[in-house]
Amino acid sequence: MGNLFDLTGKVAVITGSSSGIGAGIAEVFAEQGAHVIICGRTPKRAKGVVDGIVAKGGKASFHALEAKDEASIKALIEDTAKEFGRIDILVNNAANTTGHGLTDVKVADVDTEVWDDVMMSDLRSVFLACKYVIPYMQKQGGGAIVNTGSTGAAAGNRSQSAYSVAKGGIEMLTRNVAYQYGKDNIRCNCIRPGLIIHGRNDRLAPQFMRDIFLKEIEVNRYGCPRDIGYMALFLASDEAAFVTSQIIDVDGGMFSHAPQNTPMNEAEVNMTAQ
């Protein structure tokens, strides 16, 4: 019996993988034998990920990607298929998580331009990557698609209206791809990360926000990119052959309880201390 989650010989395209969660996924995949295609808008940063993987004995290549440009997405898929003869795994991770900052606010206050831009970068890009990779996967006899969603789509938000709606759309797209192409041996699943701290977003997560999140996380720490990488590895592997159309939270248990439980627990502690 071979090693579990072995990706040796498989080709994995990972969008938005020049940093953060995407880079973590790429590193985990490469460690398990996959040739990973690092995609992003910043060649210098992406080259650092490629070089790091290669230095550890892994296989990695870079392909430029502008997630809002259909031609760029199409070229990524076509060039990869032409070079390697197959695409076994697609991880749709590219998203504009920080670009709109305070402009992605309550529904009535979001500018139409901001809404459209988020939909293009976060939802339309995922649709296009699926659209162009599916025919190749059909031709080769199957494949695995893993989409990165967000726990921001699990409940209403006081802000990030466009972002949370786009991520909710990814969940429905995941189910449609899984249903429509399952008979072609194409599986599609979605990971909803919780609070994942990494180099690029470290400065955007002030301590007061981390403290709020940590009260709701059950494992006493924030997440890291490799936490998402390990779940993506399972979903992309042959061991997950019977898993498709699933929306899986990787959030340290943040959504394991009703929202009133934390303040009620704190109230009980305070009453006991009196």
Active site residues: 163
Tell the residue number behind the tokens 């190749």, with chain if given. Answer: 136
Report the SS3 class of residue 223. Answer: strand
- Helices 225-236 and 20-31 pack at an angle, to 10 degrees, of 50
User: How far is Cα 123 from Cα 92, in angstroms, rounded to an integer?
Assistant: 10
Shortest CA distance to 234 belongs to which of 60, 91, 66? 91
Pairing mode, strands 186-193 and 59-64: unpaired
The most distant pair of C-alpha atoms in the chain lies apart, rounded to whole Å, by 70
Q: How far apart are CA 266 and CA 152, in angstroms?
A: 24
